[in-house]
Amino acid sequence: MKILLSTFGTRGDVQPYVALGKGLQAAGHQVAVCTPEGFRGLVEAHGLTYAYVSNDFVALTEQALQAQSFGAQMAASRRFPAVIRAALEDEWRAAQSLQPDLIVYHTKSLGSYHIAEKLGVPQVLTLPLPATPTRAFPYPFFAGVRLGATFNRLTYQLMGHALAMWAGTTNDFRVKTLGLRPRSASADLTRLPDGRPMTVLYPYSPHLVPVPDDFPPNVHVTGYWFLDAEPGWQPSEALQRFLESGPPPVYIGFGSMGGMRPKQRTQAVLEALAATGQRGLLASGWGGLGAANLPENVHMLSAAPHDWLFPRMNAIVHHGGAGTTAAALRAGRPSVICPFLGDQPFWGWAVAQAGVGPEPIPQHRLTAKRLAGALTIAANDQGLRRRAERLGAQIRAEDGIANAIALLTAAASS
């Protein structure tokens, strides 16, 4: 079977699909990954076929996240419609080249639903966070709001209206490029063109967020899709020396998040480490952390595979991105989540609810004192640490990729 995997966004949006692609290829399928060109090396390094999409989306996302003012963020945001429209054409060219038997896609790949309809092939929607209406919790972007079961379901309708903002762009693509009729902005894109419910896969662990009783049978929580470091990866001599020079440090990194106040954020981190007596490993990311003169008990890191690094840490301080959260949980280490936006507050809430990390600290409330308090809990609460170790073992025992492959095979034949 020829399978097109399509995903957009930052590395956390791409890496799980490379992992899934490797599993599908090992199972005998022909796989291509359609994603921005900046990830071509990642795709091809793991032996998969790369399908081109311009890197403009990633570059513009990085520009928006690193913007030092609200005006700069808005200026970057105004360029997204044109960039997305061009990406739809790239998706279509990739599909024409592969002629897939099945299209599996992230919700950010806005052309995939329409392309599958045009080609008349099965399609499966995937997303690394729960987006199916439920009474159990609100849509993840409303993670801090608790108004009961009825309101929880209402938030999914509100998000549906928000996503309709791209309907004009996708309808232009449907009509002018694919020759299809336009769809209503309120159309349910979790239903196939013939009205049947679409197979939906959520690659996170049900041990972290239990499957709600009101999820329909077409929705599946598979477990995480992990992409491990290539065998033989070695740390730099400087990193190895630092790790061997004292007790396990605290990892502190905010992934692709940069934004405003990077100097103040770094200073708060350094003061919190000093106040708690912890060694620190700072990951620079896209500019969220950095300092010219670091104390001896703090090491600056540009990059290292999380599956290798995190088990060597005492605790993980991060932004709450889905990929980083998954890696920290699998390592069995407590997480201190300091979310910026999007689904990050939801993962902070989920980690705290599971008892494997303290309450999240939103970035606008991040201070040295608050971070020091959270680090003290993460380092010294033995019940929390045991729960983190237990959850890590449960996640390591899952096989999310095998579960996904079985479900994709069934969806392709239905």
CATH pick for 2-224+398-413 out of 3.30.420.110, 3.20.20.70, 3.40.50.2000, 3.40.50.261: 3.40.50.2000
- What's the pLDDT at 178? 96
CA-to-CA distance for 290 and 269, rounded, in angstroms? 10
Other CB atoms within 10 Å distance of the CB of residue 24: 23
CA-to-CA distance for 238 and 301, rounded, in angstroms? 10
- Does residue 257 carry a pLDDT above 80? no
Mean pLDDT of the chain: 90
- Share of residues in the chain with pLDDT > 90 (%): 69
- What's the pLDDT at 213? 96
Name the residue with higher pLDDT: 257 or 330: 330
- What's the pLDDT at 230? 72
Tell me the domain boundaries of the chain: 2-224+398-413, 237-397
Tokens of 289: 């952390």
* Residues 70-95 pLDDT 10s: 666 666 667 777 888 999 999 999 99
Contacts of 17 (CB under 8 A, 6+ apart): 5, 7, 33, 35, 104, 106, 126, 225
* Residues 101-140 pLDDT 10s: 999 999 989 999 999 999 999 999 999 999 999 999 999 9
* The domains spanning 2-224+398-413 and 237-397 adopt the same CATH topology: yes
* Residues 64-75 pLDDT 10s: 666 556 666 666
Give Cα 368 distance to the centre of its chain.
27
The hierarchical CATH code for the domain 237-397 is 3.40.50.2000
- What's the pLDDT at 413? 87
- What's the pLDDT at 289? 60
Angle between helix 11-26 and helix 400-413 axes, rounded to 10 deg = 70
* Residues 366-385 pLDDT 10s: 999 999 999 999 999 999 99
Q: What is the dihedral of CA 273, 278, 279, 283, to 10 degrees?
A: -50
- Residue 311 DSSP code: G
- What's the pLDDT at 68? 57
